[in-house]
Structure 1
């Protein structure tokens, strides 16, 4: 029976590496507890209190106090440097004041606009410019050098002070949990640092005005640093590293789930500030209404994305954008995602049980192993979403869906399913049953078919000769092509998808290198041809000076026009042969060759049941008569029909040839309009031909 720790005080306890599957920690005090590398599947942490123990809170507040004191120390020194601007009797001191003022001003302006790091860089670049200004004013080389050095110190103090104080503010706010207490700590520290800086500098201010000015500058700089710290605490994108550093620092000594397996664990209503989730397995972990989770250390988990973190806590994603978001394993039971944009999001192994996904955009989502039980999906767009047998679509509430994100050109057709009316209970699931055992291969810049075939065969070998068959090829427009590959029920679809992606990229690179080499060779041939053409010009000039004798021989020959190669006009010349035969003649020759190859096959024994010979003849006629197919594509398609006819002569030994030909034909057809007659014919004939050739 799983252990029950509900309501207990477990502060500082170590559960490191233990198997606590199903354990009950509800409403327990787990501050400072160590669950590193523990197995906590199905564990209940609802209402639990995680974070820092009191002694760690005190220690971290002292650290924040010291950081703010350091910032105050730097601030008073900046004020002291700026007071030199009032010393008009000493040109060197005056230059120090001017350069320091320019440096600090540039740093502050750029920091407000772009962040501390950008401000430090801009301030450093301003030192040289400030030195030049000082030279023009005082014409004192020694003073310029001193001013430049002083400016560098001023910039360094400003940057260090800003980081120290901003970090102190964020640490104090994260640890203390009270704005008032955090302000007391950082203000007290900065005042103490300023006083210490004044004494350490042993400065005798040149009059009351200069002294007041130095103190005022220090005060202004403290307020400036407090502003930087506050906006970092609120998650401002200009200085995210300050907040990340402070949260990581504040999580020291807090509750640790580092490397723990929290699959299906429940943190509903738990307090989770100063908690370490680095490298934890958060598959379907429940964070609904968890408190202070944004002050936890997320590492590389899905909690690192603020938008996703907010969704996990509130379950409210209505009309929000999660394009390309990492939602792998997210627990979104009952979430409101109506009209949300989840295009290209990774929702593998996530759960959307009972969630509202009406009118959501699920285009290109990766939904392998995703649970949609009782989800509401009416009006959603499911174009090219990747689902398979582990995707759960039980009892889905759906009246209709769309298969296209955008309408077809010059229409409002988004391929609604069903085309009219509404799904009856269970029909939505039935519609997608045929694609549950498929892997979708999505190509966004078209397909190189040579690389595709090489990768496809390699994936079959790498996966133990798993039976893979191309189910469909869809041209989505804008260069996007989706190839659906049918796989067995027990196939590792994620591995197949990953293997193919990797092998396709390798094969594509190899093909491109080959093309580059061929192109270079062709360029070399062109250079040689041009050189030889120049030589031929000289020969022609010489021959033109000589008499020409013409001999005409007439010969009469009988030739079979089906295979008459004399119809080609070939021009032989130095540097290569150029074929000037027309496309129509080429198609005629290929058509005749295909006919001869098909005629070598036996006819069907029963006239009313066409065999492979009759089917290939129908396919050949459909290709030749199609008006949407370009002559070049017709030539390619007819060559594949010839390959199928050759494979039909010995199907057992030539399955690879047949498989490649079928794939190439589908690729040619994929570029045609869906209403093209050839598309319909291929959709009807190719599956039957595949069956005759033993391809499934």
Structure 2
């Protein structure tokens, strides 16, 4: 008990009846583990992966579960849990649930089930630029509607350039309004990206940016609820979406320079460190003779996404968007040789970058 298993790979482990009281399991991989009847009282499961875990009969009282990952097959049958904490502070666990009193028999399992509610939206034209558009859409919607959990969302590839986005919401959230807002803002952002690309590539043409022309387009997307799918047509009244693929990697550098400058202007130690690393990544991408132009464009888009999220406070930052951008960079470098400048730079800075982004 009380041992430190931070980041440990315990996937599939047989931990039935184990005494893990007070254990530190931050970021541990427990996917598929058997934790039936285990004692996890006071344990720290922040950022732990607990997909398909069987917690049946386990003691989870006073455990911290900030940003842990569960799924519908994570079992909490007959668990003992009087109080759970959903935030980890510098000097202990914060934000106990329930808000007052203690969970009674069966209430914790019900509370966990409610946490898994989502708004599911099918999104088209989803290349790498779509990740940034979705992040912006979630941000804007969360500012307008209550009940959105910005730290709990995922995307699942359904077809080429089509994904299913699942965004965590509370049971009392206005799901239809949130669905409509996310869809509107997503296509709105894609249109802005496309029009800005047109201006960069065709400066002689007069292109009206959507931010000025049409702030509230009418959009109906595909809402997925349970096993039923209700399809609708995407109708962007008066808006012409231009695919952001036309933006060359050269033009992306200007955007990145501006964003990095904004990071430096924040004048925090983390902001300056992040700006230094992103500048190094940008320079390595531009000077990389191994990467194709398409790969450079994708890598620069990832750097731009990280820079944009880096400007936000830790609480506002979309960590999964940062993770996807980092994964894109890692995927690119895994596909090239060791002579890649980007591969060398990323290997050097990856641990620090991950820490700066609180991943």
Please report the TM-score for the alignment, with normalisation by the length of structure 2: 0.41
Structure having the higher Rg = 1
Structure number with the higher helix fraction is: 1
Please report the TM-score for the alignment, with normalisation by the length of structure 1: 0.22
Structure number with the higher strand fraction is: 2
Higher relative contact order (CA 8 A, sep 6+): 2
